[in-house]
A and B are shown apart, each in its own frame.
Chain A
């Protein structure tokens, strides 16, 4: 099997990350304090309660009233790039500088912050999936490990705080209408719906 050799770029990224991760959890907790766990698009499957109807008007699905979710406070999105400045977070500056020194700024300029350092982004609309406000290009989702869940798992605390939690809807199997202790398998690939954003990109039509 031809395997990709990790580049020096990748290695440097990983090492910087490792150093930063602990420190950045503080920032994570600050964000988490005002996070919301709302999931307005999460439908309860009607299939188990209503026979699949031959309808012309499609019936809607409702949000489960459970669990008692944290108050759905809307957190204003960062209108400016959230990349911390050196005065705010020297370690983040180091991270950015390291990239700059090697000419390795992401060409698409994704939010250049690690998990936990970022502010919430506005959703596209009520019911749209939350966006990823931090770099995610080195996070992987494999059968044995889902990197996203190491911070975002429902009920998980990280250094005493909580990241944005995967809502309970993601644990429900629509085909059986049951909730289990594991992510519904179809939800396991977080990256199918939740994508990072390039913060300082002018709109498409400005180009």
Chain B
């Protein structure tokens, strides 16, 4: 941008002056409460409200314009501290996500047997009939097979109260911990990393770090496509501070590489070796922050050779022992630059450049990662290893020095993690296996002691395997699309078609999951209900109901409560109208209106009790409707930007500087540096299956495309999944650009069109296919190996062959 001409500069100066002159007028408009820019007649009478974006974990705020009950406009919210007035192309697509022509509007009950080659057939039903059928099936399953035969697969896209109500129903009502979010596929390794290193979940830093950092190291995160508005902030930092460095550590060239100062391509799985190699160089160069390590770090060795979770009923238990720095240094000393090169393919110079960044105390460094690190059979280890680099140098929990785990889904943090909708968890980082924690939950929920089962149920992968084994009789999916998103999908789709599991799918549109369902529940989405999400930086943010869902559609919250009533568990949700009255003029949701009290507020205020005073403090309900969200812990209305740092976090004991208080009971508040090593992935390319398959997303589509493919502008921007492959591999396998090819693994195959040098440009030996396309079921091919600690599937690595069709 150095080429800005004098001519254009003069133009801008004039414009700036004029804008300032116009500010007074704007101010009047804002304070008058009228909502519409007078200059745009089409938007006269439009009412504007804030709503968090429906898609990724960034948590942008949108301004949603409605008129006569219809959504008419969407724009970036300039008051949002997250996206500062901008949205990505998906955000602009929000306008049309609710209005697809095939929106489900009635409960549907299947009338032909599953597995019928004719495909599923449904008839319309009343809500009463559908809900009674569900309740009957649940009662029957519990009677004949026990509560453990009932399960639910939810979402990091659940609103906070939807996830809370579902967890309460299953754990405190039905009597099983068989509830999991799709966030198991997405963030479980991040959670396990936080808990094992810091004893408390979620990032210590926040998005303000973007404006403080001098270096950004991306570990397998294509932020330019997957977190576009956060990438915009990185870009802004890079352009305003030219000394800023961006390093894209990746297994394939991608759009993020364009803005990066250095791209380093490594072999899949070898990030484990690279992270240890950087630590080794930091120690060799004497750049360890000894006082920080002495005061705030404990070293531990865990198990090696931990397996891959490929077998049914796989079990893992960590065995940890405390070690000292010397032992740690000896462990990483094996990872010499030469050894790292041998494993990863990156040169000693590249490794040295990374060590230059992490080792220099004056370079404020942000590490950023998402699915590349988390969807990894050693995902927990990789999270640990990145924290090691920041702990070794003391570059953590202060502005700009920030290991930052980016979240995939809009409320993976707010709902899946904070509410604790995983099988082993309870709200506020508590777990079902801990009797004290169960007791706290039972007290808050007003349940007799011993109600909550003490053992975790099935985690997500084991839950779907249990369907295949005939152990699950009822499976309810909300806000997710499991029969497109699980790996090794052939096995599990066959299991549903063959077995006697009763599948309930709550969705707004037909999907690969609804086509396997016995009952389909038409579901209100996003601004058709009152909602709350929690984003990557611990920001809890709310929205109001702004439009009416079509037909008979009802929210997931309404559905959960109605099923509870029919199971005789209505008392779980029987709050009083005197305590939580409906508010005149407030656009209440179906759940509140039908229950006669403000159900979202009742649930949230009850949920808050879990975290207040325990470093998970949320603000009172009403405050969130008045702000663009707040980052917890919220103490006396004040959010916390940097946790574990005395200067910013009131939970840190005075005089300690830093305190990792999540581990207070275990080791007095020290972070744990784990000795983790490189171990190979379970399946690698060989003679028969010579290529890596990597899967992922594209900018324009959200997850399985259920919403975004129905937005014409997004559909036409990227209608079909393609296979990206290196030109040399194309020659090698006799494939041309535009050919249809078959990609085959040991588990299944899929047909797809080849795009040579597409947006992702894999190195030789790899093919990339995004998973959004229901006509390219790439998860028929992927491998359901998972991290034994986090139980998160590795969707990024398996071996395949390709052939022209």
| Interface flag for A16 (CB, 8 Å) | no
Category for how many chain A residues contact B: 35 or more
CB <8 Å contact, A41 and B35: no
Interface segment among A26-34, A59-67, A87-95, A112-120: the answer is A59-67
Q: How far is the CB of B480 from chain A (nearest CB, A)?
A: 20
Which residue of chain B has its CB nearest to the CB of A199? B716
| Interface flag for B664 (CB, 8 Å) | no
Bound CA–CA A43/B20 (angstroms): 14
Bound CA–CA A128/B79 (angstroms): 19
CB within 8 Å of A: which B1-45 residues: 1, 4-5, 7-9, 11-12, 14-16, 18-19, 22-24, 26-27, 29-31, 33, 35-40, 42-43
A45 and B15 in contact (CB under 8 A), knowing A9-B737, A59-B35? no
CB within 8 Å of A: which B757-783 residues: 757-759, 761, 763, 775
List A contacts of B627 (CB < 8 A): 54
Q: How many residues of B contact A (CB 8 A)?
A: 120
CB <8 Å contact, B30 and A49: yes
A195 and B700 in contact (CB under 8 A), knowing A129-B89, A141-B259, A154-B11? yes
Bound CA–CA A62/B63 (angstroms): 12
Bound CA–CA A127/B95 (angstroms): 11
CB within 8 Å of B: which A33-51 residues: 40-41, 43-50
CB <8 Å contact, A105 and B738: yes
List B contacts of A172 (CB < 8 A): 19
CB <8 Å contact, B755 and A50: no
Q: How far is the CB of A47 from chain B (nearest CB, A)?
A: 6
| Interface flag for B736 (CB, 8 Å) | yes
Contact digits for B687-717, partner A, Cβ 8 Å, 1 yes 0 no: 0000000000001100000000111110111
Contact digits for B222-240, partner A, Cβ 8 Å, 1 yes 0 no: 0010001101110111111
CB <8 Å contact, A197 and B717: yes
Majority SS of interface residues in chain A? loop
| Interface flag for A5 (CB, 8 Å) | yes
Which residue of chain B has its CB nearest to the CB of A150? B3
Majority SS of interface residues in chain B? mixed
| Interface flag for B625 (CB, 8 Å) | yes
CB <8 Å contact, A67 and B85: no
| Interface flag for A52 (CB, 8 Å) | yes
| Interface flag for B139 (CB, 8 Å) | no
List A contacts of B712 (CB < 8 A): 124, 203-204
A7 and B11 in contact (CB under 8 A), knowing A58-B50, A131-B713, A192-B88? no
| Interface flag for B646 (CB, 8 Å) | no
Most buried by B among A2, A126, A128, A205: A2
| Interface flag for B265 (CB, 8 Å) | yes
Bound CA–CA A9/B737 (angstroms): 9
Q: How far is the CB of B229 from chain A (nearest CB, A)?
A: 7
Bound CA–CA A45/B77 (angstroms): 9
Bound CA–CA A146/B574 (angstroms): 58
A179 and B4 in contact (CB under 8 A), knowing A57-B33, A128-B92, A205-B101? no
| Interface flag for A189 (CB, 8 Å) | yes
Bound CA–CA A2/B112 (angstroms): 54
A107 and B63 in contact (CB under 8 A), knowing A57-B47, A125-B73? no
Most buried by B among A108, A175, A180: A108
| Interface flag for B727 (CB, 8 Å) | yes
A181 and B12 in contact (CB under 8 A), knowing A56-B625, A195-B700? yes
CB <8 Å contact, B86 and A44: no
CB <8 Å contact, B48 and A9: no
| Interface flag for B255 (CB, 8 Å) | yes
Q: How far is the CB of B722 from chain A (nearest CB, A)?
A: 5
List A contacts of B559 (CB < 8 A): none
CB <8 Å contact, A175 and B84: yes
Contact digits for A7-22, partner B, Cβ 8 Å, 1 yes 0 no: 1111000000000000
Q: List 12 A-B contacts (CB under 8 A).
A: A10-B727, A43-B63, A47-B79, A58-B50, A64-B15, A66-B14, A67-B11, A67-B15, A126-B42, A155-B5, A171-B12, A201-B716
